[in-house]
Amino acid sequence: MAVAKSLSPGWFDNIAIGSSIPRDLRIHRTHVAEGGGRIVGFITHTTVDDKADIKWIGVEPGSQRKGIGSELYAVVEDELRRAGVREVRVETVSELTEYEPYERTRAFYEKMGFRVEKVKKTISEDTGEEFYMAKYVKALGPEPS
Ligand SMILES: CC(C)(COP(=O)(O)OP(=O)(O)OC[C@H]1O[C@@H](n2cnc3c(N)ncnc32)[C@H](O)[C@@H]1OP(=O)(O)O)[C@@H](O)C(=O)NCCC(=O)NCCS
């Protein structure tokens, strides 16, 4: 939660910090990255049938762009492939909503091999503002031999 809080208000809103993330950290499968004796990043996911949803990912601001997010995602993707999961999905703020911090988030997912499948208009429960969410997907083929 300290990492999640370090990314609020830039990325995570009050509902995410106050209820969604603390709840999901208890229920979803969660991996963390450690550095200097403390947690500096985390990722959570769930699965439904042969599909997986990345629900939350975060790396504290001072540790970003050092490969930690890539490493966290790689661990999850490897685990999912081995378990026979065939598709990974993640939702994030679309480019139709101008907001610089999420340009970096989308650059990250695109580098991880995700592509936009669809975009929908949403209303923030926290602020009542309208924004666009993009659903990104990545197909997982069999492991290269
Ligand atoms: C998204 C996030 C988890 C990525 O973690 P990270 O450790 O910073 O990412 P990495 O260092 O592994 O970056 C991997 C690639 O993503 C892209 N990327 C990451 N940060 C970027 C940035 N600030 N600008 C442009 N591209 C970026 C780059 O292609 C990068 O590869 P490169 O450094 O070789 O060019 C992290 O930036 C973060 O916590 N963001 C805020 C929270 C968030 O957006 N969560 C998701 C909400 S849906």
Give the Cβ contact number of residue 19 at 10 Å: 10
Residue type, 49: D
Give pLDDT tens digits for 104-142: 999 999 999 999 999 999 999 888 999 999 999 999 987
Is ligand 1 within 6 A of the CB of residue 33? no
108, 111, 124, 138: residue to mutate for ligand 1 pocket, most atoms within 8 A of CB: 108
What pLDDT was estimated at residue 144? 62
Q: What is the pTM of this model?
A: 0.95
Total count of domains within the chain = 1
**β-strands 38-48, 51-59 pairing:** antiparallel
What pLDDT was estimated at residue 92? 97
Give pLDDT tens digits for 34-85: 999 999 999 999 999 999 999 999 999 999 999 999 999 999 999 999 999 9
Nearest CA residue ID for atom 24, ligand 1:
104
Q: Considering the domain boundaries, does residue 92 fall inside one?
A: yes
Give the Cβ contact number of residue 55 at 10 Å: 19
Instruction: Give the CATH number for residue 112.
Output: 3.40.630.30
Is ligand 1 within 6 A of the CB of residue 66? yes
CA of 101 to the centre of ligand 1 (A): 10
- Domain extent for 38: 2-139
